[in-house]
Amino acid sequence: MSRYSLIATSTFGLEAIVADELRKLGYEDLSVKNGKVGFIGDERDIARSNLWLRTADRVLIKMTEFRTTSFEELFQGTLQVEWEKLIPENGRMHVVGKSVRSKLFSVPGCQRIVKKALIERMKKRYKRERFTEDGPVYKIEVSLLKDIATLTVDTTGPGLHKRGYRGRAGEAPLKETLAAALVILSKWQPDRVLADPFCGSGTIPIEAALLGKNIPPGLRRDFVSEEWPQFPKRLWRSVRAEAESEINEENNFRILASDLDGRVLRTARENVRTAGVEEVVALQKLDFRGFSSKRKFGCIISNPPYGERLGDRESAQEIYRELGRLYNSLDTWSLFALTPDPEFQRLFGKRANKNRKLYNGRLKCYFYQYFGPLPKKRKEDPEKATGTP
């Protein structure tokens, strides 16, 4: 197998979590930069990382990196890459680009130069003037940052947040990768009950269930590199079979998901069923003010309403006040809330133990973390929780 320089991309603020995920998968000597975690691997590692990474956006092959301030330098730098070792004669070569604080600021111009150099390289290898490009897709990105060009090839296809379980989303959907990050940051373990009283289309409860059952998030989807000749079908079958063997088949934990909106709750039921976690996620139509539980040491992880629309801000802030009152009634519980409102702590009535800046899409948010005591050992039965099924 070949060895590749790989990059797991991420949303700003999640790089350390992606790096931890890679370490748990057995990868070392990682390089962590803004939005990127670099590691080394072969074809099997590309398949494993795509299948298992919960908080990364994509897995890219880094082909080259060099300084360039002119189109000629960009052309020559691209021409030196051994593209033919990765891209077959009929490969569909789609070039995309971006440029930040670089002399070469015309992205379409950079894309054209890279495609031209790539074709010239392929001509020398395959001794032909034209290419049908009717085979597997190879999306090449030219990324320029401060005059440094990085050329990569995407192994993922649709972003890793596309798990395959969410056919429809709520009005303000939370990306699956960010939802998984919230659960990981909470340090939640399946021996504690977890609740989301604003579950919407069910993304946080589903991601928690996948984590609790150790189900690979990419198990129900395909990846663009599955069609590449370097990745034989037997390799993907082997990696998937290995991943399936590591799933926790026991349903010995409970996640409580509720929402007042019956329409989005129907979508949540659909998504939970598609994700295959209906045995551990209990859904109910319920106003969050009616939530209660006899369980101890539980954990609320939620993405409450933001109130971004005109006239909604006051109602959202009242929800934050009520959420603070609810938390005061759950004396041993922990609570984690994602919101863009910098006034959340004042409205909630208590200062967070930790506050982490994260981005929900392009919206800057704060992940407020309130830590309750941790249980010494698992004692109680999930059925003791009330206010939800």
Model pLDDT for residues 139-160, shown as the tens digit of each residue: 999 999 999 999 999 999 999 9
Are 55 and 181 in contact, with CB atoms under 8 Å apart? yes
For the stretch 186-225, pLDDT in tens is 999 999 999 999 999 999 999 999 999 999 999 999 999 9
Superfamily of domain 176-217+240-384: Vaccinia Virus protein VP39 (3.40.50.150)
Residue 171 has pLDDT above 70, yes or no: no
Residue 383 has pLDDT above 50, yes or no: no
Pick the CATH number of 4-154 from 3.40.50.1240, 3.30.2130.30, 3.90.120.10, 3.40.190.10: 3.30.2130.30
Q: What is the pLDDT of residue 168?
A: 62
Q: What is the pLDDT of residue 387?
A: 43
Count other C-beta atoms under 10 Å from residue 103's C-beta.
11
User: What b/e string do you get for 229-261 counting C-beta neighbours within 10 Å, with b at 16 or more?
Assistant: ebbeeebbeebbeebeeeeeeeeebbbbbbbeb
For the stretch 346-372, pLDDT in tens is 999 999 999 999 999 889 999 999 999
Whole-number average pLDDT of the chain: 93
Count other C-beta atoms under 10 Å from residue 168's C-beta.
12
Please give the distance of CA 215 from its chain centroid, rounded to a whole number.
Answer: 14
Q: Where are the domains of the chain?
A: 4-154, 176-217+240-384
Average pLDDT over residues 321-344: 95
Tokens (6 digits) for 342: 């910098």
Strand order in the sheet with 92-100: 31-33, 36-41, 4-9, 58-67, 148-154, 137-145, 92-100
Q: 237: which DSSP letter?
A: H
- Alpha-carbon distance 165 to 163, whole Å? 6
pTM of the model: 0.91
Residue 55, sorted as left (phi over 0), alpha (psi -120 to 50) or beta, turns out to be: alpha
Residue 173 has pLDDT above 90, yes or no: no
Q: Are strands 58-67 and 148-154 parallel, antiparallel or unpaired?
A: antiparallel
Which residue in the block uniquely carries the two structure tokens 């990105």? 141
What is residue 278's three-state secondary structure? coil
